[in-house]
Amino acid sequence: MSVNRSAATLVEVPRGLAGVVVADTEVGDVRGREGFYHYRQYSAVDLAHSRPFEDVWHLLVHGDLPDAPRAAAFAAETAALRRLPDQVAAALPAIAAAGAHADPLAGLRTALSLLGAAKGFRPVYDIDADRRREDTLAAAAAVPTLLTALYRLGKGLGPVEPREDLSYAANYLYMLTGAEPEPERARAVEQYLISTIDHGFNASTFTARVVTSTGADVAACLVAAVGALSGPLHGGAPSRALDTLDAIGTPDRIDPWIRERVLAGDRIMGFGHAVYRTEDPRSRMLREIAQRFGGPRVDFAVEVERQVEAILAELKPGRELHTNVEFYAGVVMEFCGLPREMFTPTFAAARVVGWSANILEQAEDKKIIRPAARYVGPRAPVPVSAA
């Protein structure tokens, strides 16, 4: 009887938990039908247009936008956390050399675990809110340093030490290339980073919150989130969207190339989104940034977008399929000098701030996230004790 009563309490939900509300949050929200998303009470796109990355980081972690003195103090505080502990820096060459192909995002999982140990991170369940915040700041500030060092080591180059006098975005480009970036390129990357800090309960954010609900330390929560982000259906698409432009090649090939893929049932990378039923506001902003730079590559991307949307409307009537953030993200990042293998790691360098805000919020709730599954395998015998 107890088995039957337990089964009766199970609730059927859509595949992938689509549309299911699993928690309350003050971090931000995505309003897919309106084509709008926000961080706390501020439009994310407006913030990308008007604020530096550090101010938005302050907003997500502390809950408000800082005035000038507090902004300067927060920027200085986080910049001072960019340098890695010696034992972590010493281990990076071995991490970068593991495997046939260097993968900075895969290496980040190992490096973050080591960073957490070196920094003495303790389970969030056992520490107070101030210590949790300190741990998230230390981890998030170190992520760009880890990613760029792993990339350069994988290419046979030496890591570039972080500079505290540069902004988060400019320092990221500096550590990646070894040269101080032009201001307009640094600002374009900064706007991309701001636009991708957080985006509702996406797979990696939800993963971070599930692990946080167990009381694990900040590094463990972030490692889990990075693992989720690495999947091509989540954060692994910016370079694939750019690969699509390369595969098409010239404007005269757009129509036949796209039609062939759509009729074959293939997914066109950079188009469609799980939440938006209208244009992705991040894509719109990144298109504007790309057009600000201009050039044949940008013109070609805009024409591909136009024709793909027309073909999709013809072949899949009734479905709203538009470019998502990955399509123009690849164009912008390529123009700013980022290699393709660093597109998704750059996404992680932004999203780590959103994960951190969600970790801090989830840590306040002591209830573990423990859903149920519907068993559909072979029938199991009834235990003698239950008969």
Residue 28 φ then ψ, to 5°: 175, 180
Residues in the chain: 387
Find the mean pLDDT for residues 161-186: 98
Provide the Cα torsion 79, 85, 89, 92; round to 10°: -100
310-342: per-residue pLDDT in tens? 988 898 887 777 877 788 888 999 999 999 999
What average pLDDT does the chain have?
91
pLDDT for 192 beyond 90:
yes
Report the distance separating Cα 290 and Cα 255, nearest Å.
23
Predicted pLDDT of residue 6: 45
Tokens (6 digits) for 165: 């006098």
> So which residues are the catalytic ones?
273, 326
Residue 323 φ then ψ, to 5°: -65, 145
Tokens (6 digits) for 13: 């939900």
Report the distance separating Cα 202 and Cα 42, nearest Å.
19
pLDDT > 70: percent of the chain: 95
With bands split at pLDDT 50, 70 and 90, how would you rate the model's confidence at 276?
Answer: low
Report the distance separating Cα 183 and Cα 271, nearest Å.
30
Predicted pLDDT of residue 4: 37
Q: What residue type is assigned to position 373 of the chain?
A: A
CA within 13 Å, CB half, 24: 2
pLDDT for 9 beyond 50:
yes
Whether 116 contacts 219, CB under 8 Å:
yes
Helix (H, G, I), strand (E, B) or coil at 284: helix
Predicted pLDDT of residue 386: 59
Predicted pLDDT of residue 5: 38
With bands split at pLDDT 50, 70 and 90, how would you rate the model's confidence at 387?
Answer: low
Whether 186 contacts 170, CB under 8 Å:
yes
Find the mean pLDDT for residues 189-211: 95
Predicted pLDDT of residue 308: 87
Predicted pLDDT of residue 7: 44
CA angle 20, 26, 31 (to 5 degrees): 55
Predicted pLDDT of residue 317: 83
- The pairing of strands 28-31 and 36-39 is antiparallel
57-115: per-residue pLDDT in tens? 999 999 999 999 999 999 999 999 999 999 999 999 999 999 767 799 999 999 999 99
Q: Other C-beta atoms within 10 Å of 308: how many?
A: 25
Model-level pTM? 0.90
Which domains can be identified in the chain, with CATH numbers?
45-230+343-363 (1.10.580.10), 238-335 (1.10.230.10)
Report the distance separating Cα 112 and Cα 26, nearest Å.
26
